[in-house]
Amino acid sequence: MGFPLPPAMRRALDLAAEAAAAGEVPVGAVVTRGGEIVAEGRNRMRAGSDPTAHAEMVALRAAAAALGTSRLDDCSLWVSLEPCAMCAGAIALARIKELRFAAEDPKGGAVVNGPRLFAQPTCHHRPDVLGGIGEEEAAAMLRHFFAERR
């Protein structure tokens, strides 16, 4: 028996399941400040005909609106999948303090895979990054989602 997931990651995984149920790629994201959830999001690209409506982008936009600032430097982002280049760029621009993610994304990830955006000299903000939190559940959800579509 493993350790229970932090509540924010549990919520991100639940949001990912909601995305899958709606026909979206199962990714969920939660922004916390001081341990409290201030915003959340799930993939909504198909529903909104918006290629930028990734879970992280939805959550970051909601957090900025809720807190009245584009600088989220005292916030953490919890996401069920390693962010892509677009989302990693937004995380850096928002000055997110900590990034916590579940499953790595070898094909589309941009944090520990691919371009490794936060390691680039042109990236002016680097959050503290920790992956693998809830990885098995997130990876299984993604495998199931894509297996159903093949």
Residue 21 pLDDT > 80: yes
Q: How far apart are CA 54 and CA 4, in angstroms?
A: 26
Q: What are the tens digits of pLDDT across the range 71-89?
A: 999 999 999 999 999 999 9
Q: What is the DSSP string of 50-88?
A: -TT--HHHHHHHHHHHHHT-S--TTEEEEEEE---HHHH
Residue 12 corresponds to which amino acid? A
125 annotated to bind ligand: no
56 is catalytic: yes
CATH of 37-148, one of 3.40.140.10, 3.20.20.150, 3.30.530.20, 3.40.1710.10: 3.40.140.10
Confidence of residue 1 (pLDDT cuts 50, 70, 90): very low
Q: What is the pLDDT of residues 51-78, one digit of tens each?
A: 999 999 999 999 999 999 999 999 999 9
pLDDT tens sequence across 125-139:
999 999 999 999 999
Residue indicated by tokens 């559940």: 137
Domain range summary for the chain, segments of one domain joined by +? 37-148
Exactly one of 18, 24, 40, 56 is catalytic; which is it? 56
87 is in an annotated binding site: yes
* Annotated binding residue 54: yes
Q: What pLDDT, on a 0 to 100 scale, did the predictor assign at position 9?
A: 98
In single-letter form, the type of residue at position 78 comes to: W
